[in-house]
A = this chain, B = another copy of it.
């Protein structure tokens, strides 16, 4: 009886510990990215937005939001800052005036080259083999999607 209660307690604690592990790992990643991204004049969420736009630009805010799991409350000011920095242009779509389409400026496109210095540094900081990284990434994505699905 004591044994099974202890076991139960441990499992319950584990859920708190797993969440804290994800939380603190995300913060640690941010600490590693920060000095690298400072050189690009970007924050980490801004870097994520640029990664998405480098793949394909002329996207609606909503589209970027779906890629990054962020809403307009976060993205609108972020994209305005990228625009103020001269990296993107925000234009009301002619076909659907509700949409604002985001396109890269030449400076925004040019930043991609400078940004190539970032991933090797992150890779080194992780000190993980490629298979281990892939496995961990896949497990996290599966957990994230399961958590999101659990919200109904």
Compute how far the CA of A150 lies from the CA of B140 in the bound complex, rounded to whole angstroms: 22
B51 in contact with A16 (CB, 8 Å): yes
Q: Which of A103-138 contact B (CB under 8 A)?
A: 119-120, 122-128, 130, 133-134, 136-137
B-chain residues with CB within 8 Å of residue A51 when the two chains form the complex: 16
B19 in contact with A23 (CB, 8 Å): no
Contact of A122 among B10, B16, B21, B136 (CB under 8 A): B16
Interface string of A1-33 (1 = CB under 8 A from B): 000000000111111111111111111111111
Of A57-65, A75-83, A86-94, A141-149, which binds chain B? A141-149
What is the distance, in angstroms, from A124's C-beta to the closest C-beta of chain B? 7
Nearest chain B residue, comparing its CB with the CB of A69: B24
B-chain residues with CB within 8 Å of residue A127 when the two chains form the complex: 146, 150
Compute how far the CA of A13 lies from the CA of B124 in the bound complex, rounded to whole angstroms: 13
Compute how far the CA of A122 lies from the CA of B124 in the bound complex, rounded to whole angstroms: 33
Counting every copy of the chain, the complex holds 2
A133 in contact with B15 (CB, 8 Å): yes
B147 in contact with A32 (CB, 8 Å): yes
* A139 interface hit (Cβ, 8 Å): yes
Given contact pairs A15-B133, A16-B119, A126 touches B148 in the complex (Cβ within 8 A): no
17 A–B contacts, CB within 8 A, in A order = A11-B123, A16-B119, A16-B122, A18-B126, A18-B133, A18-B140, A20-B48, A21-B141, A22-B25, A23-B26, A24-B68, A25-B143, A27-B69, A28-B144, A31-B151, A125-B146, A128-B143
